[in-house]
Amino acid sequence: MKGRQEGRQKGRQEGRQEGRQEGRQKGRQEGLLEEARLMVIEALEERLGLVPLEMRDQINALTRRDLLKGLFKQALRCVDFASFQEMLAKL
């Protein structure tokens, strides 16, 4: 009996530790995504002015950092919101 109890307790502790690690990793990923979204929006604002709400919503809905990285580069180069919207619509 004692061996089973110790085994269960050890299993619970390992499970909690794994859960905490997964939570931290997910939190980091979410933080990186949020930062990438913000950088795209800030680049657009710096270049073109206030970003339309619908465009902000589209950017904030993206969940892939590689796409956001590409959009950031486009935000630095685009001449107007219409050209950026064309790029955003292709995603």
> What domain range is 59 assigned to?
2-89
CA distance 68 to 45: 16
Return contacts of 9-14, CB within 8 angstroms, 24+ apart: none
Q: What is the mean pLDDT of residues 62-83?
A: 96
Q: pLDDT per residue over 4-28, tens digit each?
A: 777 677 777 777 777 777 777 777 8
pLDDT for 80 equals 96
CA distance 62 to 53: 15
Q: What is the mean pLDDT of residues 72-83?
A: 96
What does the block give as tokens for 68? 């956001």
Structurally, the chain folds into a number of domains equal to 1
